[in-house]
Structure formats: structure tokens, C-alpha cells
Amino acid sequence: MGSQFTELPLPPHYDPARVGELWRVPYEQRAAEAEAWAAAHGLSMARQDSRRVALLAVDVQNTFCLPEFELYVGGRSGTGAVDDNRRLVEFIYRNLGVITDIIPTLDTHQAAQIFHAVFFVDAAGRHPAPMTQITEQDIADGVWRFNDHLAGSLNVTPGYVDAHLRHYTHALARQGRYALTVWPYHAMLGSLGHALVPAFEEALFFHSIARMSQPDFQIKGDETLTEHYSAFGPEVQFGPDGAAIGAPNLALIEKLRTYDAVIVAGQAKSHCVAWTVQHLLEGLRNLDPQLVARVYLLEDCMSPVVVPGVVDYTDAADAAFAHFAAEGMHLVRSTERVEEWMGD
């Protein structure tokens, strides 16, 4: 398949023991090392790739991936996201010459959004606990209602949000989505949790210099009145009055269709990755069903949400990925050679 698919050694700066830690990337040093590494290993510029490969890295952020942060995705093992990122970072370094572009998504939130506790109160004025599931029946029965102290700041009326919550929870149920979940405050805009995991950020930066390929960051999750697991669109697109409360990211679908292969990794397998892949499947199938076979899902670089004794989405995630495979996508592992996936 040519030199583009030659696996490389791991660079000397990489330390697998630090993947689960928080630290600063030494950009100037890594930039010089990346150019020298590219020259030593004969790496061409990304724009010269004969086969264009995108890595879509979903929400590889501290908030999901480091154990001391807000919504750590440990999976059933308890070490899920750290192990996943070790494999993902090593996959990037070994395949610097394979990956043309890296497209990281960033879950991006503020406090007063529909999936955070301050948005809701009960009859006594108390907020729901993290991981509370709010159903259509809960809203109808008044178990939870909008915290109208937020109305002025959000430029909405309490009556509108009450109607929206009835509409929203009904729409989730009708579409077969997860129930509205009150997540711990996470991925807060400007916070340490919002930032990329340092080991992944370092690999991303190293790739960008070595291959002369600017990362294409995709912001998601900043709409107030809808959850937004997928990189391609909100959970509910329209409010009770028909007005848009979020927009599909059609430009990203159009971009990904231009690649010969799209590799997907990130967190969490059960939520943001699963819905991203579902929307990618639908978008590519609508453009050309044959495009679906260009998608490769790195199953050992993602984990499901598991909160011991509370929720476990492992089975739901596995069922979703079995569906993706049945539709023509490829379930692969980072430890396999890319040329074995893609053939000639």
C-alpha cells in the first residue's frame, strides 16, 4: 500500500504512565521534535496522501477521561477512558503517516442548560441529584419544573420553558432516545475539564506539525434547551413552537464524505460516540449508501457510561455498535494494522 501505511515507532517523549494525568504540553519543544521526526521517517505532508483518512475524535476531554474529573468514563473496569486514551494516543503515533486529518469534538457547556441540576426544581425548590432521569410523566406530574429564577438570564419566559419541557421529553420518548438526564456539571466552557486530555492534545499537536495538518475542532453542546450528544446535531432540533433550538452539522457530514476512510474514537461509547455514529450512518446513507463502508470504529478506544449501583449503559452501547456493524461499518481495534482493515 506504500509508505503512507508504514507503522512508526512511538516517539521518545511519549510516556504511557502519564496518559491519565494533567500536565502542560511543551509546544515549542514538541514542534521541533515533530519536524525532525517527520524528516527522519520520511513523512510527507498530509495533502499529498494518496488515500485520505480522517480521525474523528469525540470528546477526548479531561471531564470524561481523567479519574479526578466530573464525568469520568470508567466503564465496567473503572479504568476505561485512561486505557482507551493510551491506545488512542499510541495509534496516532504509530499511524502518523496514515492519518491525514484529525477532527476533535469538544463538548461545551455552561451551568444553566437543560441537562444540569440548576435548571430544575421540585415543589420544595430543591434541585435534582446528578444522574436523575426526568421523564415525560415527571414533567406532567410536576415532579420537576423549570427554575424560573433563570428566566431573565436565559431570555425566556417560564411558560415557554414549561411547554418546551413537555414537548422535549415527549420527543425523546417518541424518537427512542435516552430519557432526559441530569448530568454532573461537566465540560464547562473555559474550565480545565473542557480542555483536551494532555496526552491526546500532545499527539494531536505532534501530528499537526509532522504532517502539516491543522486540526478541525468541532464545538457541540452549547445550546441551552437541548442535549447534544452527537457531533452532528442536537437530541431535539425544534421547540414546541416549531422554532429551531439547535442545528444539524451538515458541513461536517459533507466534509467526512470526501475521505477514503473515517476512523472514530472517543467518549462515551454509549452516548456521544453512539449518537455521533448513528447520525454519521444516516447522513452518509442519505448521500450514498456505499459511503457507510468507509467508516471504522475503534472499539478499544471508547468506553460506555457506568456509574456503579446507578446506571450501566454497556449493553446498550454494545447493541448500538452491533447495529452499526450490521449496516456496513467496520468494528476494529487500534492494535491491528490499518492496512489489514482497509485492504488494497
- Give the tens place of pLDDT for each residue, 266-293: 999 999 999 999 999 999 999 999 999 9
pLDDT at 3: 57
At 71 the three-state DSSP class reads coil
With a pLDDT cut of 90, the percent of the chain lying above it is: 95
Residue 15: how many other CB atoms lie within 10 Å:
12
The structure's pTM equals: 0.96
36-55 pLDDT, tens per residue?
A: 999 999 999 999 999 999 99
pLDDT at 239: 94
CA 320/CA 318 separation, integer angstroms: 5
pLDDT at 2: 44
DSSP string, 143-208: SSEE-GGGHHHHT--HHHHHHHHHHHHHHHHHTTPPPEEEPPS-SBTTSTTTSBPHHHHHHHHHHH
194-222 pLDDT, tens per residue?
A: 999 999 999 999 999 999 999 999 999 99
Q: Is 328's pLDDT higher than 80? A: yes
DSSP string, 237-286: -B-TTS-BSS---HHHHHHHTTSSEEEEEES-TTTHHHHHHHHHHHHHHH
225-245 pLDDT, tens per residue?
A: 999 999 999 999 999 999 999
Closest CA to 41 of 74, 12, 70: 12
Contact 56, 103 (CB under 8 A): yes
What is the radius of gyration, based on Cα positions, of the chain?
A: 21
Going along the chain from its start, the domains and CATH numbers come out as 3-106+186-273 (3.40.50), 117-182 (no CATH)
φ, ψ of residue 53 in degrees (nearest 5): -125, 130
Contact 71, 184 (CB under 8 A): yes
Contact 264, 278 (CB under 8 A): no
Mean pLDDT for the stretch of residues 127-146: 97
pLDDT at 1: 39
pLDDT at 344: 55
